[in-house]
A and B are shown apart, each in its own frame.
Chain A
Amino acid sequence: MTTKVSAPAKIQLGRTPSSTIPVLTVILAIIMIWYAGAVHLNSDQIIDRYEKKGIDWSLVQLANDSWNMKRAVLPSPHQILMELKATIIDKNVTSKRSLIYHAGITLSSTLVGFLLGASLGIGLAVGIVYIETLDKSLMPWIITSQTIPILALAPMVIVVFGAMGISGLLPKALISMYLCFFPVAVGMVKGLRSPQPMLVDLLDTYSASKWQVFWRLRLPSAVPFLFASLKVAIALSLVGAIVAELPTGGQAGLGARLLSGSYYGQTNLIWASLIAAAVMSASLVSILGLIERKVCYRLAGGQEVSNEL
C-alpha cells in the first residue's frame, strides 16, 4: 500500500505512441470501404432515377448522390454523423426524438439487469462451489438455460409481465439478467476453484472455517476471473435490453429506435442507434476494464499486471 515500486520497463510496453498510427490506418480503411460500399449498394436506385428522368450522369455525380441519398440502403458515414448530431446535440434530452433519452432508458435496464445477473451468477457460483448437491445438479440446467434463444424468450416475458400489469424497466432488466448470469456463474466457479491446493492445505492446517477460506483465499483469487466474466456479461446485458425493447412496439429505448427505423425505412436512424449502442457497450466494458486494472493491481500487491482487453 505504501511502497509503490513501479516497473517502468513493463509500463512502457502497454501504451506506446506508435499504436495510434495502426489504429488510425484501420479506421481510415473502414471509412473508405464504407463509402465505396455506399456507392455500390445505393447506385441501383439512383441510376433508375436518372434513367426515368433521362438525365446524363457522370460517375462523380453518381457517387455524390449515393452518399447523400435519403433512405439509402447504406447511409454514408457523414450522414450518420449528421443524424447523430441532430438527435444528440440539437434535440433536448427530454425529447422523444433525442437519442440520449432513448440511450438512457436502455442504459438503465442494462445496468439493473447487469447488477441482478452478476449477483445471481455470483450466488450460483458460491452455491456450486460450496454445496455438493448443487455442484452435481445445477450446471446442466444453467447450460440448458442458455440454449433457449433470447429472441424467442423475450416477447413471452414482456407479454406475460404486461398481462400482469408490469412493464418498463423490470421485465427488460430480467431479460438482461438472464443473459448476464451465465458467464458470471461459469467464470466465478472457475475463479473460486482457482487457488493452488497448497494454499487450501495451508488454511486447513489452521483449521480455518469455510467462510474464512472464502473471504481470505477463494474470493480474492476469483476476482480476475470475475472481471473477465463481468466484461462479457455487461455487453450481453445491453444486447438483452435492446432485444427486450423490440416487442414493446417501439415505445422507448435504443431497441425501439431500431425498430421504428426499420418500420419507416429510416436507415440513418437505425445506424445512429446502432452506433449509440456500440459506443455505450464499449464504454461500459472500458469502465469495467479500468476498475479491473485498479483492483487487480492491488491484488497483485502493486505489481503491474498485463491483462488488458
Chain B
Amino acid sequence: MNSASASTGINHVVEVKEVCLDFPTKEGVVKALSNVDLNINAGEFVSFIGPSGCGKTTLMRVLADLEQPTSGSVLVNGMSPAEARKQRAYGYVFQAPALLPWRTVQDNVLLPLEIMGYESGQRQQLAQEYLQLVNLSGFEDKYPWQLSGGMQQRVSIARALVIEPQLLFMDEPFGALDEITRDHLNDQLLRLWQQTQKTVVFVTHSIPEAVFLSSRIVVMSPRPGRIIDIIDCNLPADRTLDIRESPEFLAIAQRVRAGLAAGHSYDD
C-alpha cells in the first residue's frame, strides 16, 4: 500500500479511496460515509461543507484516526491514519476550545509538547512563539475562564500549531462564536495559512466561511454521507473580507448552495 501510494504521487497529503463507514444504531445501520474518494495536495485549504449528518466531521475523524472506516483505504502522508497519528503528523482543532480549566493559557499550549517529550527550554520557546502568532502574548498566565470564547479558540489553535504539524484538521472551530468574532478569526486564519503554507482540512456549515477560506470546497450530502461536488475556489491570495461582495465570490457561493440543495432531500 505504501509503495503504491508513493508511485501515484507523493504530493497527496491525504488519499481517500472508496471509504465507507457504517454506524450500527437501534434503528438499523446508518451509512455515515458511502464511497468517498478524495485526494488533498500539500498546501491546500480544503473545506468540507454540508448539512448536519452528512458525515463531514466523521470523514475528518477518519483521517485523524479517531474513527475507523468500515471499508476502503485512507492514507495520510503516505501511511495509515494510525501510523500518522503515532508520528504526530497533524494538529486537530475541535468544535469547542477543549482547554483544561486547571491549566493557564501557556500550560494548555504546553500540553502536547509535554506529552510528546519536548525539552523544557524548547517548550517555552515554542509556546511563546505560537501564542504570539495567534495574538495572545500577554495572556500566558490567564486561565481559560478569564478569556472570551474567541480567545479560547485561538488558544486551542495555538495548541494545535505548537507541535508544528504540516497538516491541520479543524472541525467547525468557529461554529460556536458570534459572527463578528468569526469574521475576524477567518481573516486571521487565512493569513496564518498563507504564512505557514500548511495543509488545512476544515469542516464548516457556513458557505461564506468555506468560500472565503478555501482553495477547494468539498460539498457533502447526508443519508448516505457522500461527496456530491468538489469546487475549485481560487480567489486572489490577498483577499480581504470585502471580497464577499464580489461577483466571483458570489458565483462560487451560488454553486456551493446549489450543490447543497441538490443533495439535500427535505422529505424527512
Contact = CB atoms under 8 A, between A and B. Distances in A.
Q: Are A and B bound to each other?
A: yes
B146 A5 contact: yes
A162 B24 CA distance: 58
Interface in B75-106: 85-86, 88, 90-92, 94-96, 98, 100-104
A205 B144 contact: no
Contacts of A205: 64, 66, 85, 90-92
Interface string A171-205: 00000000000000000000000001011011111
A77 interface: no
Given A207-B85, A207-B86, A216-B111, A300 B94 contact: no
A2 to B, nearest CB: 5
Interface string A292-309: 000000111111000000
A163 interface: no
B145 interface: yes
A299 B143 CA distance: 10
B1 interface: no
A204 B115 contact: no
Given A203-B115, A206-B115, A208-B115, A217 B92 contact: no
Contacts of B98: 196, 198-199, 202
B102 A299 contact: yes
B150 interface: no
B127 to A, nearest CB: 15
B92 A202 contact: yes
A252 B102 CA distance: 45
Contacts of B262: none
B141 interface: yes
Nearest to B142: A3
A7 to B, nearest CB: 10
A3, A206, A220: which has the most chain B beta carbons within 10 Å?
Answer: A206
Given A205-B90, A206-B88, A301 B115 contact: no
A209 to B, nearest CB: 8
A1 interface: yes
Given A206-B115, A216-B115, A201 B94 contact: yes
B101 A300 contact: yes
B145 A2 contact: no
B143 to A, nearest CB: 3
A95 interface: no
B112 interface: yes
A64 interface: no
B116 interface: yes
A1 B104 contact: yes
A205 to B, nearest CB: 4
Interface string B36-55: 00000000000000000000
B29 to A, nearest CB: 22
A20 B133 CA distance: 53
Contacts of A204: 65-66, 85
A212 interface: yes
A199 to B, nearest CB: 5
Nearest to A202: B98
Contacts of B142: 3
B100 A220 contact: yes
A1 B59 CA distance: 40
Contact of A212 (B103, B115, B141, B145): B115
Contact of B141 (A2, A216, A299): A2
B161 to A, nearest CB: 13
Interface in B169-189: none
Nearest to B91: A205
Nearest to B86: A207
B102 A300 contact: yes
B145 A303 contact: yes
B116 A206 contact: yes
A301 B94 CA distance: 21
Interface in B139-157: 141-146
A202 B102 contact: no
A17 to B, nearest CB: 29
A298 B104 CA distance: 11
A217 B115 contact: no
A3 B141 contact: yes
B58 to A, nearest CB: 13
Nearest to B87: A207
Interface string A273-309: 0000000000000000000000000111111000000
A217 B141 contact: no
Which 4 pairs of residues, A with B, have the shortest CB-CB distance? A301-B143, A299-B102, A205-B92, A206-B115
Given A207-B86, A216-B114, A301-B103, 20 more contacts: A1-B141, A2-B141, A3-B143, A196-B98, A198-B96, A199-B98, A202-B94, A204-B66, A205-B92, A206-B115, A206-B116, A207-B88, A207-B115, A216-B100, A216-B115, A300-B101, A300-B145, A301-B102, A301-B143, A302-B143
